[in-house]
Amino acid sequence: MLILTSSINFVTKHFLRYLPKDPQKIKLTFIPTAAEVEEGDLQWLKNDKQSLVDAGFQITEFTLTGKDQEEVRQMLNKTDFIFVSGGNTFYLLQEMRKSGFSDLISSYIKKGLIYGGSSAGSLVAGPDISLVKELDDSSLAPELKDYKGLNLIDVAVFPHWGNDQFHKRYGKMMKSGYKKGLKIILLTDDQYLLVDRNKYSIESI
């Protein structure tokens, strides 16, 4: 199962109904890696984490930065739900590759691991993140050689749709996406994409 959002704190209470068991019985690993290169007070990151705490999940925090594949594998073996935060999509993908996370995650999802994401964490799940150059600074990921996503889904998720802050840049992203032939799903802050057994549904609170 995948739960892809713009900001998970807006929809946490809504998606709980789709989980296989109560949050109190689910071990959730919170991955803040994408936010490590962002500036400011990161209140949005705090809000996302707090919403998951309030829902009752057993939460452990784990960064992919500086980790190797064995460390990532051990982490995945101990968790039921991976939540990948927002931040810089390019830096996130770079660290997913360097740590081996990108090579492992698909097989764990097939075995029942839940993948959740906010913004960058949702964007990276698709086939291509090159469109995000209109939103994120790609220079923060100097070791990233190409922009192929995790390919957990066959669509590009555009978070924060309808947000005035991103209006003009999203117009350019849409044009680039259509030129590349990508399937695109637009998500407002109060929507999320639920992917379960290869069935896609856009849920609204």
Element (H, E) at 172: helix 167-180
Q: How do strand 27-31 and strand 155-158 relate by DSSP bridges? A: unpaired
Rounded distance, CA 6 to CA 123, Å? 9
Question: Residue 198 has what pLDDT?
Answer: 82
In this structure, what token pair is assigned to residue 16? 């709980």
Residues marked active site are found at 119, 160
* Cβ 152 vs Cβ 106: under 8 Å: yes
Question: Residue 150 has what pLDDT?
Answer: 97
Buried b (16+ CB within 10 A) or exposed e, 131-149: bbbbbbebebbeebeebeb
Give the residue numbers spanning the domain of 180: 2-204
* CATH assignment of the domain containing 7: 3.40.50.880
Q: What is the pLDDT along the chain (205 residues), one digit of tens a residue?
A: 999 999 999 999 999 999 999 999 999 999 999 999 999 999 999 999 999 999 999 999 999 999 999 999 999 999 999 999 999 999 999 999 999 999 999 999 999 999 999 999 999 999 999 888 878 899 999 999 999 999 999 998 888 766 666 556 666 666 666 566 677 888 888 999 999 988 999 998 8
Question: Residue 158 has what pLDDT?
Answer: 82
Domain count, the chain: 1
Question: Residue 85 has what pLDDT?
Answer: 97
Question: Residue 177 has what pLDDT?
Answer: 60
Q: 190 exposed, middle or buried (CB, 10 Å; 0-12, 13-18, 19+)? A: middle
